């Protein structure tokens, strides 16, 4: 992420210019996805005129945008023809099963970008400029979009999360998936364990997305829905495991401790509470992606954060859990942190 | 600029996530400058509470923003205290003579960012979404801001440009500085050659900035102003040299050829026309900064571009120049291209 000056090399202000222009990278990728450029490049032949025709766009615009994407490393250019890089072929060509172009809809949502225009003011006040509690206001429609579009990014975390939670168990069990969203984490539990029953908890419009995904995965007969707020609904149970994915970072520590206590009271003795989180190192400035995530919590919530492992462990302990373990997911910025009731 | 996957390493979508979040880097640096964080860090002691107090901001906001700046490489963090990096000390601390924090005002101007929200539509139509000819519309106030704030970025180019144009000459001469802006290029000629007289051409409100800079440099008695449009005013002359800095990239090739012809007719035989430009390699995708600059021209002009050396040479030739030479400025993304009348 950084292109800082290195010791010994002459100082240049390149990183400053680069940061001030970095917003262009976001707009360029979003525009390329909206124009379906990655499909056109995949179909070939890759010359400017052909891509412009396929995307119903001007040649000047296509040539300049595609060159910019090459500079960014998400296309290549050989003898004047644009080609996929391995990355763009895998993750941006809509014909690829791993395509995650849809995440640009959530991450590029103007509602998520808006607070960044007021960032100095947000830093002054210390909380989101969105109304109320920001993205965690009840029934915020952004979470339907999250559920509908972020699956391709979160899906690859589901397998490793399921493996940590299940440890190979195929015993009958009941699992609660709090803030289920797209539902992929609970669905993965049901896929890995044919005797697992899963209850997805989220706001009702979001759960419709989870149920549709459960149907696609063929596990909907073992998938139940519990619509409402995680802070208000009766969880039922007792459960063998509770998933708390991408959730704690939205709230302050006391709120999380209360929530973890409520979760513990819905778990069988020895049951597992598993969070999936961006967990920066204790220095809070590494690794880049988890550390940088705090800024999204500053701009979109009243008091959320990317918590360090010691902070998460303290919250688990205060809520009465034991045996707290951390499981970084390889090749990803995410970590599973699990405690036992 | 690129964090693309490398051959042999497992593929990850990190670059895609990074691009979609890159806009945060722009907002973070702009907010830090607006909050005067780099001054507070320079003054020390660098703990969150002190910086928050110095910047009249919340501790949560300051801690999260400063951590983000560390991730970006424009601050460091040691034992919980924020310190300058060599880069931020030199170029972002307002106490440094090389501070260029002011460029965030021009590069972060909402009028320059606005078109990026419509980038897909701009690529479809092939031209800026701004009214008329975009930033080169007559009297566009953005150029007053450019003149007032971009000096610290452009100033370091002035010495090398002056050396190329003068080649050590201290003979009496008359130099026309077209699109003078902050005036620093022409002023540098007057500084390097005490017998040079300089005429700055730009819109009148912009020339006021140039004249003030000439006064600060002590060369205002040899600095004349020619207010108006480079396409419309009579240049006078004949001149020994004409500077065309950061100008040709706003226009299409035929417009530039006409302009270069008009310049040639105002030059003495053998006189020099020197452009300062972002000049990408012929592949148009390297080096990163000059190549990426085309996108700014797509979004802000009707037909501008970052021209390659072969394109600039062709324009010079068509306008009747000879002896065309290119002089890349070390440690910068800029190149001086010069032709003889």
Strand partners, A269: none
Q: What pLDDT is attached to residue A46?
A: 98
What is the C-alpha separation between A25 and B25, in angstroms, rounded? 11
Residue B162: both structure tokens together: 């002056």
For residues A333 and B14, what is the distance between their CA atoms, to the nearest angstrom? Answer: 9
Q: Which of A67-81, A123-137, A177-191 has the lowest mean pLDDT?
A: A123-137
Mutate to test the interface with B, among A68, A97, A102 (most CBs of B within 10 A): A68
* A147 has a pLDDT exceeding 50: yes
Q: CA A128, CA A111: separation in Å to the nearest integer?
A: 12
The residue in chain A having the minimum alpha-carbon distance to the alpha carbon of residue B37 is A120
Give the list of residues 6+ apart from residue A299 with CB closer than 8 angstroms, or none.
A115, A116, A119, A122, A128, A129
Q: What is the mean pLDDT of residues A313-319?
A: 98
Residue A6 has pLDDT above 80, yes or no: no
Instruction: Find the CB nearest A11 among B26, B90, B119.
Output: B90
Query: What is the structure's pLDDT at A8?
Result: 60
Q: Which helix (H) or strand (E) holds A268?
A: strand A267-278
Distance of alpha carbon B222 from alpha carbon B220, whole angstroms: 5
In sequence order, what DSSP letters do the residues of B98-113 get, joined into one string? T--TTHHHHHT-HHHH
Question: A337 phi and psi, to 5 degrees?
Answer: -115, 130
pLDDT score of B275: 98
Q: Per-residue confidence of chain B (341 residues) as pLDDT tens digits?
A: 344 455 566 788 999 999 999 999 999 999 999 999 999 999 999 999 999 999 999 999 999 999 999 999 999 999 999 999 999 999 999 999 999 999 999 999 988 899 999 999 999 999 998 888 888 777 788 899 999 999 998 999 999 999 999 999 999 999 999 999 999 999 999 999 999 999 999 999 999 999 999 999 999 999 999 999 999 999 999 999 999 999 999 999 999 999 999 999 999 999 999 999 999 999 999 999 999 999 999 999 999 999 999 999 999 999 999 999 999 999 899 999 999 99
Nearest CA in chain A to B66: A285
User: Which residues in chain A are contacts of B119 at CB distance < 8 A?
Assistant: 27-28, 30-31, 65
What is the band of A4 on the pLDDT scale with cuts at 50, 70, 90? very low
Helix intervals (H) in chain B: 14-21, 23-34, 37-43, 48-54, 59-72, 86-91, 103-107, 110-117, 119-125, 142-149, 151-166, 184-192, 204-216, 253-265, 288-300, 309-318
> Residue B128 and residue A16: Cα distance in Å, rounded?
25
Q: Using pLDDT thresholds of 50, 70 and 90, give the confidence band for residue A1.
A: very low
* pLDDT score for B169: 96
Name residues 236-295 of chain A within 8 A of B (Cβ).
283-286, 288-289, 291-292, 294-295
- Give the nearest partner residue to B18 out of A1, A17, A85, using CB atoms: A1
Q: Where residue A141 falls among pLDDT bands split at 50, 70, 90?
A: confident
Residues of A in contact with B14 (CB under 8 A): 289, 333
Candidates B58, B60, B59, B28; CA nearest to A125 is B58
Q: Strands B81-83 and B76-78: what pairing?
A: antiparallel
| pTM confidence score | 0.94
B339: left (phi over 0), alpha (psi -120 to 50) or beta: beta
pLDDT at A132 over 90: no
Phi/psi of residue B19, nearest 5 degrees: -65, -40
Instruction: Determine whether the interchain pair A22/B18 forms a contact, defined as Cβ–Cβ distance below 8 Å.
Output: no
C-alpha to C-alpha distance for A106 and A98, rounded to whole angstroms: 17
DSSP H or E stretch at residue A161? helix A151-166
Cross-chain Cβ contact B77/A297 below 8 Å = no
User: What is the per-residue pLDDT for A259?
Assistant: 98
Three-state SS annotation for B188-203:
HHHHHCCCEEEEEEEC
- CA A129 to CA B27: how far, in whole Å? 14
Beta bridge partners of B322: B340
ipTM above threshold 0.90: yes
User: Is residue B100 within 8 Å of residue A16, measured between CB atoms?
Assistant: yes
Token match 């003979």: residue? B171
* pLDDT given for residue B163 in this prediction: 97
**Separation between Cα atoms, residue A5 and residue B84, nearest integer Å:** 12
Among all residues of chain A, which has the CA nearest to that of B115? A27
Task: Enumerate the residues of chain B whose CB falls inside 8 A of the CB of residue A20.
Answer: 26, 29-30, 103-104, 107-108
Question: Is residue A198 within 8 Å of residue A175, measured between CB atoms?
Answer: yes
Q: Average pLDDT of chain A?
A: 95
Q: Kindly tell me if the per-residue pLDDT of A318 is higher than 90.
A: yes
Predicted pLDDT of residue B1: 38
CA diameter of chain B: 65
Q: What is the pLDDT of residue A135?
A: 82
Return the pLDDT at B310: 98
Q: Considering only residues 158 to 217 of chain B, which have any Cβ-Cβ distance to chain A shorter than 8 Å?
A: none
Q: With an 8 Å Cβ cutoff, is B9 touching chain A?
A: no
Neighboring chain A residues of B20 at a CB cutoff of 8 Å: 26, 29-30, 103-104, 107-108
- For chain A positions 42-81, those within 8 Å of chain B (CB to CB) are 55-65, 67-68, 70-74, 77
């Amino acid at each position: 992420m950084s292109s800082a000056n290195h010791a010994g090399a002459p100082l240049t202000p390149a990183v400053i210019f680069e940061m001030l222009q970095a917003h262009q990278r976001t707009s360029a990728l979003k525009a390329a996805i909206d124009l379906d450029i990655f499909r056109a490049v995949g179909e070939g032949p890759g010359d400017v005129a052909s891509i412009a025709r396929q995307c119903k766009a001007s040649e000047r615009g296509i040539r300049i945008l595609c060159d910019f994407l090459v500079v960014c490393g998400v296309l290549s250019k050989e003898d004047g023809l644009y080609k996929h890089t391995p990355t763009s072929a895998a993750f941006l060509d809509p014909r690829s099963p791993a395509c995650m172009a849809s995440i640009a809809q959530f991450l590029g949502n103007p509602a998520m970008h808006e607070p960044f225009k007021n960032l100095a003011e947000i830093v002054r006040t210390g909380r989101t400029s969105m109304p109320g509690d920001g993205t965690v206001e009840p029934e915020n429609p952004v979470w339907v979009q999250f559920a509908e579009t972020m699956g391709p990014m979160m899906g690859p975390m589901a397998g490793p999360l399921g493996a940590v939670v299940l440890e190979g168990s195929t015993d009958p069990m009941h699992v609660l998936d709090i803030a289920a969203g797209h539902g992929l984490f609970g669905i993965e539990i049901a896929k890995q364990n044919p005797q697992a029953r899963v209850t997805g908890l989220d706001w009702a419009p979001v759960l419709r997305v989870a149920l549709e995904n459960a149907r696609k995965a063929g596990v909907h007969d073992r998938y139940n829905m519990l619509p409402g707020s995680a802070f208000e609904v009766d969880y039922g149970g007792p459960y063998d495991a509770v998933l708390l994915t991408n959730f704690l970072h939205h709230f302050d520590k006391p709120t999380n401790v209360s929530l973890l206590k409520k979760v513990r009271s819905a778990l069988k003795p020895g049951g597992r509470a598993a969070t999936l989180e961006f967990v920066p190192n204790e220095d809070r400035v590494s690794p880049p992606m988890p550390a940088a995530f705090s800024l999204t919590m500053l701009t979109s919530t009243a008091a959320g954060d990317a918590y360090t492992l010691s902070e998460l462990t303290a919250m688990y302990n205060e809520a009465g859990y034991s045996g707290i373990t951390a499981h970084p997911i390889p090749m990803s910025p995410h970590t599973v942190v699990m405690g036992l009731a």
